[in-house]
Amino acid sequence: MNKFLVCTSMLGLVGSVWDQDFSYLDPTLPPEKRVDILMEQMTLTEKIGQMNQYLALEKMRRKVETNAAENTGNRNKKVAAMLADLDAGLIGSTLFVNSIEESNALQKRAEQSRLKIPLLHAMDSIHGHCAFYGTTIFPTAIGQASSFDLALVEKSQEITAKEMRATGYHWNFWPYMSVARDARWGRVGETFGEDPLVVSRMVTASVKGLQGDDYTDKDRVIACAKVLLGDGQSINGLNFAPTDLSERTLREIFLPPGKAAGDAGCRTFMVAHNEVNGIPCHADRRLLTGILREEWGFEGYTISDWMDVERLNWIHKIAHDQKEAVFLAVYAGVDVHMHGPDFIGPLTELVEEGKISEDRIDRTVRAMLLDKFRMGLFNENRYVDPAAAERVLANAEHRAVALELARNSIVLLKNNNQALPLSKQLKSVLVAGPLADSNALVGDWVYAQPPENITTVLAGIQNLVGAQMKVSYASCSEIMDITDEDIERAVQQAKEVDSVIMVVGGNDARVDEDWKTADGRRNRTGGENRARSEINLAGRQLEMLKAVWETGTPMVVVLINGRPLSIEWVADHVDGIIEAWQPGMNGGVAVAEVLFGDVNPSGKLPISFPRSAGHIQTFYNHKPSTYYREYKFGKTQPLWWFGHGLSYTTFKYSRLKVPQQVTAGSSVPVSIVVENTGTRSGDEVVFLYINDMISSVTTPVKLLKDWARIQLEPGEKKTVEFTLTQEDLALLDINLESVVEPGVFEVMIGGLKKEFVLE
């Protein structure tokens, strides 16, 4: 047995001697046993230290320098407090470690503490490990969802996990499981859209990709499904603002993705900034213990969002002080406190006073330590090798997946008069607009990257067709800074070319064009904490589009953005429109391929496009009475519904087969024939919707129940088969119980409809 006598002389202490049992460092012992041995020796404060997460050192120093709001007051104290806690072994995890060197250095300091407990390093590696320098950047979630390609999404997350582990990270604050129901909200681009089934499946694929079968394997990370609950439909579309939702809407729309994450074995959950129905989520015991643990059987741990425990006092005003805030949060079910020095003290006092039981603390600490042992962090995996990381980060295989996902995520919104694809016989094209040569196409949560890793739309076009046609570029200021000269330049250059490609939209990137962190800059029109009261093209972009369109030179529009945009004029006037979302590091390659027809677009909208902010809420799974009446002026229906997306080929749907009668309790086989009736090979996403025609409570006019992504050569036909389960037919009755009601159901696929009777 590895028992060491630690002498006072070795520790430089005088007057006390104790035995320390380091046998938990022995990797041959079972992890559970190692946890027992270690916990036996931990003081209460050391245990609570495991629940304490800090922003990593370099990042914190920078925050202190930039005077970030939440650091006001005792800023330097924070850095000092972090280091003191680290040396005392009172930090369980960090977020946003800056480099491999920093990861190793922090682990080293932790190893020098009394019990040598390693740190879990956490980060938001949301579409690739993209807050870290030199990594693979995939399309953001809204684009991933547009691909409806679960296998590729899973693959992208598997790569993310690999790159995270190679750089010393263990815990990813991903996937986002919020359903986006308000396009004004800045975080729409981070979500998988408006449909709970799509979000649930994308979340499941992401958890699988990150965690694999066993998240403690050396290439995998702990996933964190975020956030509980309901931030996708906040009042006024503002981040942090209250959410007021019926129990029915919570259970039908917002909770299913969380349940799916739990069922997929997601090890951790993050709590939402907002309140739901008067209870801030961080103090909601019914949510964090009742639903999460008791209903869903969750056994992992939860984490607060950034300083949100503090906000129970500062903002929500349901706690008199920090100690009461900590009590409310831990009692409700918050396990890890994200960032800040005022946690260990209050929680230690609360346990000593008997207000929080030590068993409650032990539950969290046991789960976290078990992960650290199983991940090998006490032993062989504590440190990482920078040379090995170089072979993994953004390697050719990873970049190829980023490109494939970008290709599959692009949505052809409109294509009249065969505006697209553009002919490669054109003599000249102009690429213009504020996003033509912009890094904004990487999306939110990306920090500095080697510039050569990113292909902008302009570069993608130059690379693809630059040798055979003249590609000119009208330089342009950033979105909110467009000048008369910018517009005039584009107009003059448009007059001299065969065709114009206008690249407009939004900018969610946290960095400026020089890859400097510039969170607060005015040209950031979307992303976290960037809600808008309008969802139009920000700044003078529309004016610029109109001016160029007036020249009469044929024009197509490429949108780079994270939220649906109200672009009625564009939809009415421009024949060719592409929604590229934020397609990641190879986005410009994929956009160019779609523009010139090397790739046939196949993405479908995972979210509807309202005509204006005044049309919000707009989602396809609406109730039958939603559009019974119309707005007095202008059109009521959206520009494009969820599921919309064109192709350069045509698909014909026929022979929808559904049984006429179905006996209670049995499943329903459905099939359809899809044929490529055009001249090009293409991928099609086949959607299966149902409608419960008459029910005891109102149900949406259509609900997505399944989909299949298929590939068809010209003239090729495929029969696509689906099975509707009883669960698919269920509704929540007047008592919110899940029941299947007999009666008529309608099945809808590709414009065809058929009914069946459930006995």
Kindly state the smallest distance separating residue 310's Cβ from ligand GLC, in Å: 12
Kindly state the smallest distance separating residue 567's Cβ from ligand GLC, in Å: 28
444 near ligand GLC, rule: CB under 6 A: no
Q: Which is nearer to ligand GLC, 304 or 647 (CB)?
A: 304
- Residue pair 327/353 in contact (Cβ under 8 Å)? The answer is no
| Assigned token pair, 3 | 């028992």
Q: How far apart are CA 286 and CA 8, in angstroms?
A: 48
Binding mask 517-546 for ligand GLC (x = CB under 6 A): -----------x------------------
Q: How far apart are CA 204 and CA 216, in angstroms?
A: 18
Strand 279-280 and strand 275-276: the pairing is antiparallel
List C-alpha distances in Å: 559 to 34, 436, 579, 689. Answer: 54, 10, 5, 28
Kindly state the smallest distance separating residue 95's Cβ from ligand GLC, in Å: 6
| Assigned token pair, 138 | 């995939």
Q: Which is nearer to ligand GLC, 227 or 377 (CB)?
A: 227
- Residue pair 351/330 in contact (Cβ under 8 Å)? The answer is no
Q: Which is nearer to ligand GLC, 98 or 472 (CB)?
A: 98
Q: Which is nearer to ligand GLC, 46 or 231 (CB)?
A: 231
Strand-pairing partners, residue 757, are 661, 744
What letter does residue 138 receive in the DSSP assignment? P
Strand 499-505 and strand 337-338: the pairing is unpaired
Q: How far apart are CA 641 and CA 610, in angstroms?
A: 8
What is the C-alpha end-to-end distance of the chain, expressed in Å? 68
Kindly state the smallest distance separating residue 399's Cβ from ligand GLC, in Å: 25
Kindly state the smallest distance separating residue 360's Cβ from ligand GLC, in Å: 24
Dihedral sign for Cα 494, 497, 500, 506, please: negative
Binding mask 172-201 for ligand GLC (x = CB under 6 A): -x----------------------------
Q: Which is nearer to ligand GLC, 125 or 204 (CB)?
A: 125
Kindly state the smallest distance separating residue 371's Cβ from ligand GLC, in Å: 18
Q: Which is nearer to ligand GLC, 491 or 509 (CB)?
A: 509
306 near ligand GLC, rule: CB under 6 A: yes
List C-alpha distances in Å: 274 to 234, 238, 374, 576, 670. Answer: 8, 10, 34, 40, 41
* Residue 12: partners with Cβ closer than 8 Å, 6 or more residues away: none
Q: Which is nearer to ligand GLC, 306 or 383 (CB)?
A: 306
Q: How far apart are CA 331 and CA 326, in angstroms?
A: 8
String of DSSP letters for 519-562: TT-TT--SSTT---S--S--TTHHHHHHHHHHT-S-EEEEEE-S
Q: Which is nearer to ligand GLC, 22 or 306 (CB)?
A: 306
Q: How far apart are CA 405 and CA 603, in angstroms?
A: 10
642 near ligand GLC, rule: CB under 6 A: no
Q: Which is nearer to ligand GLC, 333 or 750 (CB)?
A: 333
Catalytic residues: 305
Determine the residue type at 741: E
Binding mask 92-111 for ligand GLC (x = CB under 6 A): ---x----------------
| Assigned token pair, 649 | 């080929």
* Dihedral of the alpha carbons of 644, 650, 653, 654, in degrees to the nearest 10: 160
Q: Which is nearer to ligand GLC, 269 or 609 (CB)?
A: 269
Out of 47, 165, 226, 604, name the contact with ligand GLC by CB under 6 A: 226
What letter does residue 188 receive in the DSSP assignment? G
Q: How far apart are CA 179 and CA 165, in angstroms?
A: 29
Kindly state the smallest distance separating residue 131's Cβ from ligand GLC, in Å: 9
305 near ligand GLC, rule: CB under 6 A: yes
Q: How far apart are CA 753 and CA 657, in angstroms?
A: 10
Q: Which is nearer to ligand GLC, 125 or 408 (CB)?
A: 125
Backbone angles phi and psi of 208, in degrees to 5 = -60, -45
Kindly state the smallest distance separating residue 559's Cβ from ligand GLC, in Å: 25
> What is the crossing angle of helices 100-111 and 75-87, to 10°?
60
Kindly state the smallest distance separating residue 274's Cβ from ligand GLC, in Å: 10
Kindly state the smallest distance separating residue 72's Cβ from ligand GLC, in Å: 17
Q: Which is nearer to ligand GLC, 95 or 497 (CB)?
A: 95
373 near ligand GLC, rule: CB under 6 A: no
- Residue pair 734/697 in contact (Cβ under 8 Å)? The answer is yes
Kindly state the smallest distance separating residue 580's Cβ from ligand GLC, in Å: 24
Kindly state the smallest distance separating residue 272's Cβ from ligand GLC, in Å: 8
What letter does residue 739 receive in the DSSP assignment? E
* Residue 191: partners with Cβ closer than 8 Å, 6 or more residues away: 141, 142, 145, 176, 178, 179, 180, 199, 232
| Assigned token pair, 614 | 């005044």
Binding mask 41-80 for ligand GLC (x = CB under 6 A): ----------------------------------------
Kindly state the smallest distance separating residue 184's Cβ from ligand GLC, in Å: 17
169 near ligand GLC, rule: CB under 6 A: no
Strand-pairing partners, residue 123, are 172
Q: How far apart are CA 154 and CA 424, in angstroms?
A: 35
124 near ligand GLC, rule: CB under 6 A: yes
Residue 453: CB atoms within 10 A of its CB come to 17
Backbone angles phi and psi of 690, in degrees to 5 = -130, 165
| Assigned token pair, 325 | 């805030």
Cα-based angle 523, 528, 529 (whole degrees, multiple of 5): 80
The number of helix segments (H) and strand segments (E) in the chain equals 24, 28
Q: Which is nearer to ligand GLC, 190 or 342 (CB)?
A: 190
Binding residues for ligand GLC, rule CB under 6 A, total 7
What residue has token string 């994270």?
A: 562
Q: How far apart are CA 259 and CA 36, in angstroms?
A: 31
Residues contributing to the site for ligand GLC (CB under 6 A): 95, 124, 173, 226, 305-306, 528
